[in-house]
Structure 1
Amino acid sequence: MIAVPRASASAPEAWLYVNPEHTPRPRGTGNAPRLVLFDRDGTLTVDDPPYNGDPANVQLRPTAREALDVLRAHDVSIGVVSNQSGVGRGRLNRNHVEAVADRIEQLLGTFDAWVFCPHLPTAGCACRKPAPGMVLAATDALGVPPHETALIGDIGADIGAATAAGATSVLVPTPVTRAEEIATAPTVAPDLLTAVNSLLRRHEAVA
């Protein structure tokens, strides 16, 4: 992972890493996002085993590579925002989290930003989804306002974080996604490539 640690006023206790080679993308025409953020476990990768800290266990979700290739071809910034309560539970440390991120970048290419919440659900922090802190930390760091940002995730907490931050959201369900989360999500897609294409088609519809 070539990204380097940074501090964020939006989520001061989150672990924020920013690619030093990132340059803000110009605002295009239409409604296509300039930044797309992804949840990690269950969205980019298979959440098995839970609290994974071993790079050898990383398995990609279907169409993850294709989806990121499309975003890069359209010059869209990309990042990851991930709850990592395994740290707070004592099952992971920063080295584990960074090692898994390194492996994901080996498989999917470089991301512009990574943001992790290392806290327990009971911590009351500003960063754990569905709080908006990690989304705002990423948008601040990459120079893209929330309304030009989208978040793709697999559970209601991801959709809640996007909504709280003022960003667009797309839900890509997995077997752990609850029926009520699917029913209330603004947009639902069967896989990551479809989710990305749905975001980009918003641009085509008004261009």
Structure 2
Amino acid sequence: MEKAIFLDRDGVINEVLTKRVKFVNNPKQFYLLDGVGEAINLMKNMGYKIFVVTNQGGVGLGFMKEEMLKLVHEKMKKEIAKFGGEIDDVIYCAHKPESGCSCRKPEPGMIMSLAEKHHISLSESYMIGDRDVDIIAGRKAGTKTILIGNEEGVADYEFKTLFEAAKWLGTVQ
């Protein structure tokens, strides 16, 4: 069994609800947050598999097509690769909010699916997100949890940035 980092996308990896971009509906609106590429490189070098688990209700609501979402994820991977980082897999829930599906966070379906597919030990893994729905999904799946940002939440650990979290992870190895 391997260990993994499950990352939320919007607000952890890329800008959202900023002066430059409200939502990411095409690759031109994707801006990597400072330090993210370096953070993912650090975590990868610590032996973690790196996964992105993201709610993308804009697809179900008709704001973007799945093909465009895939292009956004390709741009994300290329931007992260510039820093030596690598994403092992990306999974998303394209259902509408309030659809009641088992994959949309705060449900743990996406995490559980990736863990089964990649033989991940959830108890040795972390879910990192910027909202309580991410943390709740991680808890339901059995991971440790890290909240990114300025909000206090229900996470096991809290950091202002993904880079700070990655540096800390290096000290608890």
What residue in structure 1 maps to residue 5 of structure 2? 36
Check conservation: 1:38, 1:80, Cα contact below 8 A. yes
Q: Which whole-Å deviations, capped at 9, do the CAs of 1:57-102 have from their partners, x for residues lacking one?
A: 1111121011011112222210100000001111111101100000
* Mapping for residues 99-118 of structure 1, pairs under 5 Å: 99-109=71-81, 110-118=86-94
- Say whether residues 1:154 and 2:154 are aligned partners: no
* Mapping for residues 14-163 of structure 1, pairs under 5 Å: 25=2, 34-48=3-17, 49-109=21-81, 110-163=86-139
Q: Which whole-Å deviations, capped at 9, do the CAs of 1:29-63 have from their partners, x for residues lacking one?
A: xxxxx211110011100014344221111111121
Matched residues in 1 for 2:153 and 2:59: separation? Answer: 31
What residue in structure 1 maps to residue 170 of structure 2? 200
What residue in structure 2 maps to residue 164 of structure 1? 140
Q: Which has the larger radius of gyration?
A: 1
**2:30 is matched by which residue type in structure 1?**
V
Q: Per-residue deviation at 1:145?
A: 2.1
Match of 2:159, SS state, is coil
Identity %: 27
Structure 1 stretches of 4+ with a deviation exceeding 3 A read 48-51
User: For the aligned residues, what is the CA RMSD?
Assistant: 1.6
Q: Per-residue deviation at 1:201?
A: 2.1
When residues 43 and 147 of structure 1 are mapped into structure 2, their CA distance, relative to the original with a 3 A threshold, is same
Q: Per-residue deviation at 1:190?
A: 1.2
Matched residues in 2 for 1:137 and 1:200: separation? Answer: 26
Check conservation: 2:135, 2:154, Cα contact below 8 A. no
Match of 1:184, SS state, is coil
Matched residues in 2 for 1:118 and 1:125: separation? Answer: 10
Q: Which whole-Å deviations, capped at 9, do the CAs of 1:93-150 have from their partners, x for residues lacking one?
A: 1101100000001100231111100011211000010101111111111111211211
Matched residues in 2 for 1:97 and 1:155: separation? Answer: 21
Q: Which whole-Å deviations, capped at 9, do the CAs of 1:141-179 have from their partners, x for residues lacking one?
A: 1111211211111010110000010001100115xxxx5
If the length of structure 2 is used for normalisation, what is the TM-score?
Answer: 0.89
Check conservation: 1:159, 1:185, Cα contact below 8 A. yes
Matched residues in 1 for 2:90 and 2:72: separation? Answer: 12
Check conservation: 2:147, 2:153, Cα contact below 8 A. no
